[in-house]
Amino acid sequence: MSVQPSTVPPPDPFRPHLSLVPSPRPRPVRTLVTLGDSTAAGLGDPLPGGGWRGFPVLLADALGARLVNPAVTGARMADVRGAQLPVALAAEPDVAVIFVGMNDTLRSDFDPVRLRGDLATTVGALRAAGAHVLLMRYHDHTRVFPLPGPLRRALWRRVVALNLAVDAVVADAGAGVGVLDLDGLPGGYEPAAWAIDRLHPSELGHRILAGGLAALLVGAGFAVPAQVSLQCGGGREVTGLHRAAWLVFKGVPWLVRRGRDLGPVIVQGLVGELRAGLTGRC
């Protein structure tokens, strides 16, 4: 009996093959934890009945997740490691967002090496617990809060050092860590994105943050059932009276407190600028 030649053509190695394996379904986020300072606590996005909302609530709503938020005003990197991390681990989060570091740059004892160590410990513990971790690379805040030249340059150097510490922790951690670059967020430097004090995001700014974090989670394979709207709503209207009250009761006292720490920073900045001028360094 003769064998008829096959009429099926040989496979073409350059032709893409159709796969019958379905794409993995996005993972739900059941518990979201946000750790950090006043921005993570929601400052800048006040609620009509009092208190703050901020990007943690907006992101949790978009995820349909339970929110655990131990963030507090004034927190530094060491505070997150020492006081907030145990709360986060106890919540068994699927996703943890860390928003902290700018308060460190405003203190006279700023230490990027110690800061990196605290952040690495926090990230490592969260990753070991199975959480996907989101970090921030920080923006040039002097574009939002104008300062004299020497102080502006001194603080910007500290922000650069903070970002380098974040980069190093991310490189060491490997998979399971995402980074939101605040300097590249669309609309992030617009005046409307900032609150009265120009130190915290406004409602719009918090919405921009929540949208950026949601996009990172989609890219990491998580389900984000609802969209974060950039249309403001649900927050408290900020009036001229609110602005005046903030200046009297919050703004001036804050400047006095920070002046005690920023005095040495100003001196360090002036000395650095003098040295740079003498050596011709940029």
Average pLDDT taken over every residue of the chain: 82
Q: What is the mean pLDDT of residues 212-232?
A: 96
**Residue 50: which pLDDT band, with cuts at 50, 70 and 90?**
confident
| 212 pLDDT higher than 60 | yes
For the chain, give the percent of residues with pLDDT over 70: 73
- CA distances 16 to 10, 20, 220, Å, are 14, 13, 25
Residue 170 reports pLDDT greater than 70: yes
Domains parsed from the chain with CATH numbers: 31-279 (3.40.50.1110)
- Sorted by sequence, the CB contacts under 8 Å of residue 127 that are 6+ apart come out as 133, 173, 176, 177
pLDDT digits (tens, 9 = 90+) for 62-121: 999 999 999 999 999 999 999 999 999 999 999 999 999 999 998 888 999 999 999 999
Specify the range with the lowest mean pLDDT, choosing from 87-101, 154-168, 208-222: 154-168
Q: Could you read off the pLDDT of 36-46 as tens digits, one per residue?
A: 999 999 998 98
- pLDDT score of 82: 97
Measured CA to CA, the distance from residue 163 to residue 182 in angstroms comes to 11
* HEC sequence for 246-267: HHHHHHHHHHHHHHHHHHHHHH
pLDDT for the residue numbered 282: 39
Q: Which residue has the higher pLDDT, 282 or 145?
A: 145
Q: DSSP strand E in the chain: where?
A: 31-36, 66-68, 95-99, 132-137, 177-181
* pLDDT for position 19: 54
- What pLDDT was estimated at residue 245? 46
Lowest mean pLDDT among 14-23, 56-65, 234-243, 270-279: 270-279
Amino acid at 235: G
Residue with tokens 């030649």: 5
